[in-house]
Every structure is written in structure tokens, then in C-alpha cells.
Amino acid sequence: MENQFLPKVEEKIITLRNQQVILDCDVAELYGVETKRINEAVSNNPDKFPEGYVLMLDNQEKAEVVENFDHLRNLRFSPQLPKAFTEKGLYMLATILKSPRAVQTTIAIVEAYAKLKELSRVIVEIPQQQDDKEAQRKLLHRSGQLVEELMSDVLPKQSSDTTLELNLAMLKFRHTVHREKGE
């Protein structure tokens, strides 16, 4: 079953303090609620969000995410410092938000994080298989599949060729997608 929220989730995951997180405003957008509702859920359930589940950005981090992520540019006008939900914080938030959209969004979040984790494991495993070329080929193939799954719905749909090239230390991906308008 394809989840309509999955591409949106993958676009919202950013790295902050060496962790993959989603900012409160993006979580609110994904769940279809106001940001203040997400933050109220955290405030009203402090026992469900121990240290490491939600990170409070400082002024410098806020300025950096505004500068580096176009979809977060409106944060510069907010007097509030955003919160960043770690994977554990997002799972805990899912125990509080119960609407049908919340359930679908939570499934999309779980799927996105699972693919990112699998890709990380595959990339680490590839150099360890130097003596087994067939195993290494299978790992390279799987990593290509994961990149395609993570990126295919994010790439623009237009009549053109799009090439995505990622150079990850010992592993280099080159993926070309040709799509027609409306595809």
C-alpha cells in the first residue's frame, strides 16, 4: 500500500546535532494541525518526552535551518524557537495524536526512517564485502533501490531527464529518471 504522505515526510527530515529530526512546524503540517497543537501535546505530556526525544533549537540553529532549508524560511519571522522531534519523539507523539491522518502520517514516518536506517546499514556493509563480489553487487543493487524509493517521489514530474548523483565515500550512486508530464 502506497502512503500518500511518505514523500512529504522524506522531504522534511533534516540533520541537526548529528540526528535526523523533523521540526515542529513540519510535523504540524504533516499531521494537518497547527504547530501550537503539536507543542501543546509535548507540554501536556512531559513524561512522554524525556531528554533526547525533542530538541529545542537555539537562535544559531534556528538561523541555520532558515538559511539552509527553503521550506523553513517563514521561521525567521517567528519569535519562538522551534522544537525538533527525533525519531523517538515522533513515535511518542504518535501515541498522543489519534486522527486517521495522524495514523497515516505516523506510518509514513516509520517507513521513511526504516528506509534511511536500512540504507545506512547497507552502505556500511558494502566495504566489508570486498572479497565477496556477488554479495557486494547485491548490496550495491539494494542501496540503489533504496535511494530510488527515497527519491523517486521527490523528483519533479516533467518531461525531462533528471540525474541524481550521490557520492558517499566508497559508494557512488547515479540515478537517471525520465518522466513525462502528469506521470
pLDDT tens digits, residue range 10-35? 788 888 998 989 999 999 988 888 99
For 171, phi and psi rounded to 5 degrees?
-125, 130
Summarize pLDDT for 37-60 with one digit per residue, the tens: 999 999 999 999 999 999 999 999
pLDDT band at 151 (very low <50, low <70, confident <90, very high): low
> What is d(CA 122, CA 113) in angstroms, rounded to the nearest whole number?
14
Please compute, for residue 105, the number of CA atoms within 13 A of its CA located in the half-sphere on the CB side. 24
- Higher-confidence position of 178 and 142: 142
> What is d(CA 123, CA 121) in angstroms, rounded to the nearest whole number?
6
> What is d(CA 73, CA 47) in angstroms, rounded to the nearest whole number?
32
pLDDT at 62: 92
Backbone region of residue 50 per phi and psi (left: phi > 0; alpha: psi in -120 to 50; beta: other values): beta
Q: What is the largest CA-CA distance in the chain?
A: 56
pLDDT band at 157 (very low <50, low <70, confident <90, very high): very low
Decide: 55 and 84 in contact? Cβ < 8 Å: yes
> What is d(CA 102, CA 93) in angstroms, rounded to the nearest whole number?
10
Pairing of strands 54-56, 160-168: unpaired
> What is d(CA 178, CA 161) in angstroms, rounded to the nearest whole number?
4
> What is d(CA 167, CA 174) in angstroms, rounded to the nearest whole number?
9
Kindly report whether the global pTM for this prediction surpasses the value 0.75.
no
Q: Show the cell assigned to 141.
A: 543493487
Q: Is the pLDDT of residue 154 over 60?
A: no
